Structure 1
């Protein structure tokens, strides 16, 4: 690992801790005791903690902060890897249909859930929305991947076009379900598609942590390979790199990351676009550096966005997807302007 990466990782880690502590102390609820005293009493005198204080701190705020860190890291790494194999700074999980498939299956659950629940075990009724959203993400990814693969090779251009097609198809189906929904279903569907981390809990954190650990194990070490692929796939193959296996792993684990995240939080856009772009401005296209850093910067971005979302108009909450879109749109325009100048 380059010495400069260690320095930047250390600084970003301290920044995450700082923002996490700020988020911990911000909120509408007024604790009966200081937060530090409550945390101390957990280990020394549990009975001295007010039940409401304990619930807000350990069941709402801390899980939400941890979920923000995991969500930001996962989306940023997935976006960075996809931009690497596409060799395009505009690439994101949305482009290959991951998000649209998840939204469609979530819409099916929200609008037609009353009929679906009759055919599934009662034990998964509570998590049916998350499960269906995840299944939708994986189904759309498999469909797009099958279309773009021929003789064990994946055509990135066809993959992108297939993603656009499946996104349009899923969008049309989601629009039809939106049209058929009742007022309450429409409200739930709208809030879900705009994204929120309010539903964070320890079970979701555990599942997402496992998914991120497994996915990062395969993705974070791809920096040198992605650098080689920037020269061209044939040149990378001459260097002894299994290009097809790399593309397959990145697509599968990016879909796993994004599918799991979207199933828990709804749509949180632009994180996978903003983070690699910012890092690329500083470190150029050196994926050895920007891949690990993207996880930390993504975590910071989502912590900040989520803290703003729940405090700006308290006690109400602004969907986090709106805030990340407001942050991402100017960056997207900036990318387009820079690309225009390079023509």
Structure 2
């Protein structure tokens, strides 16, 4: 399997991304409406200590973890579909999560029967269930994971249908429009320590699963027939990769809402730096996604402080600009993305 594996360059890339993560984590703790004053006063003032430990630190760590999940999911999606424009949301998970969140918000305000169980599940729990249900529906329509094109088309159809259902829920309950706007624009404002623990657990499971099954992605780059001739059990390996993709995307979306372009841009940035096998590409893409989202979150908090920009809007603007520039450059060179 002839694929470039520049191990030293990949190692340096990982080290630089880890260093950037550490610097951004420190910067994130100091960015907020009160600036670095809370950091300086946290030893003496309980309020300042609470701002750091209960608000800024989990939010900063949560942004890093959500970006890591989206970067990992993007690398898996692009390898699985053999398409550099594949997005983590292609299986309908984003639309399912938004529908689940909308249903939860609507029921919280109008159904007395819903409060008995919805208060335990919560909006984020319903969003995750919606994402998982959407992926399950996609797999059902595609009749499994054997045909990637059918899986891709089923995901697009499910996303459109569930998006329409979400619009109907919002029309029936207009009081949830503001809350849903925050969810669809993406935000890390409500990330706490429990959300960080959930995302860290999901990241660990998905990273291990994707790393173990990365050989299937390497084989698929050579074509279905060649991968099968190498003795790779493609069907069960695809199931595992789809599970990792769905879990990573669903967990991130449930906690931070719909954040665009991180999962799409992170693998592209890694490929522009170093070409490696998917075993290393997945790890580097996850770290790149974490750095991208954390940097965007810090910028969103800082640029209009004390007001905040929705981080999803910022990632869409920056990510879209980058991909347009990349497309223009590759087209000028006679290549493709």
Q: TM-score, normalised by structure 2?
A: 0.90
* Aligned residue in 1 for 2:122: 128
Deviation at 1:154, TM superposition (A): 1.8
Who is 2:199 aligned against? 208
2:159 aligns to what?
167
Give ranges in structure 1 of 5+ residues lacking alignment: 42-48
Q: Distance in 2 between matches of 1:208 and 1:33?
A: 27
- Where do residues 1-343 of structure 1 align in structure 2 (5 Å cutoff)? 2-29=7-34, 34-35=39-40, 38=42, 49-116=44-111, 118-119=113-114, 121=116, 125=119, 127-149=121-143, 154-182=146-174, 184-284=175-275, 286-334=277-325, 337=328, 338=330, 341-342=334-335
Partner SS for 2:113: helix
1:139 CA displacement:
0.5
Moved more, 308-317 or 133-142: 308-317
Query: Cα distance, 1:27 vs. partner?
Result: 2.0
User: Quick one: structure 1 residues 94 and 117, their matched pair in 2 at CA, closer, same or farther if it must change by over 3 Å?
Assistant: farther
Q: In angstroms, what is the RMSD of aligned CA positions?
A: 2.3
**Cα separation, 2, equivalents of 1:277 and 1:56:** 36
Pair 187,244 (structure 1): closer, same or farther in 2 beyond 3 Å: same
Classify 1:235/1:3 alpha carbon distance in 2 versus 1 (closer, same or farther; 3 Å): same
With over 3 angstroms needed to count, the CA separation of the structure-2 counterparts of 1:69 and 1:128, relative to structure 1, is same
Unaligned runs of 5+ in 2: none
Question: Residue 135 of structure 1: CA displacement?
Answer: 0.6
Distance 1:180 1:119 in 2: 17
Shift in Å, 1:127:
4.8
Question: Are the aligned partners of 2:93 and 2:249 in contact in 1 as well (CA < 8 Å)?
Answer: yes
Question: Following the alignment from structure 2 to structure 1, what is the Cα–Cα distance between the partners of residues 214 and 307?
Answer: 41
Taking structure 1 as the reference length, what is the TM-score of the superposition? 0.89
Return the alpha-carbon distance in structure 1 between the equivalents of residues 160 and 38 of structure 2: 52
State the aligned residue count.
329
Structure 1 counterpart SS, 2:232: coil
Q: C-alpha separation between the residues in 1 aligned to 2:222 and 2:48?
A: 56
Q: 1:339 to 1:155 in 2, by over 3 A?
A: farther
